[in-house]
Amino acid sequence: MNKKLYVGGLPYSTTQDGLQQGFSAAGNVESAIVITDKMSGRSKGFGFVEFATEEEAAKAIEMFNGQEFEGRRITVSEARPMEPRAPRRDFNDNGYGDR
């Protein structure tokens, strides 16, 4: 099992400190990150929590998955590695060929 967990369904008001404090009930939280939009800086409603041990991570999934956190029901699962994505835009291709 991975020590890093995905946490989805977070309220947009959740802070990294709040996420870390909430999940510390399951064990030693090494890091807690709320993912934000690059342009607006607002939360995207999900984040990641990393624990010191795999046992603590498993305990956190058991404790928090499907439970309410700051007023919303959250999803907690093992984080998967980020998959490469195609770029959204190709600024070199203007659609007009080689003009």
Mean pLDDT per 10-residue section of the chain, whose length is 99 residues: 92 96 96 95 96 96 97 96 77 57
pLDDT given at position 66: 97
Tokens found for residue 93:
């291709």
Q: Is the pTM of this model over 0.75?
A: yes
Give the strand order in the sheet containing 43-51. 29-36, 43-51, 4-8, 75-78
Nearest Cα to Cα of residue 3 among 67, 58, 45 = 58
pLDDT given at position 95: 57
Domains annotated for the chain, with CATH where assigned, are 4-78 (3.30.70.330)
pLDDT given at position 31: 97
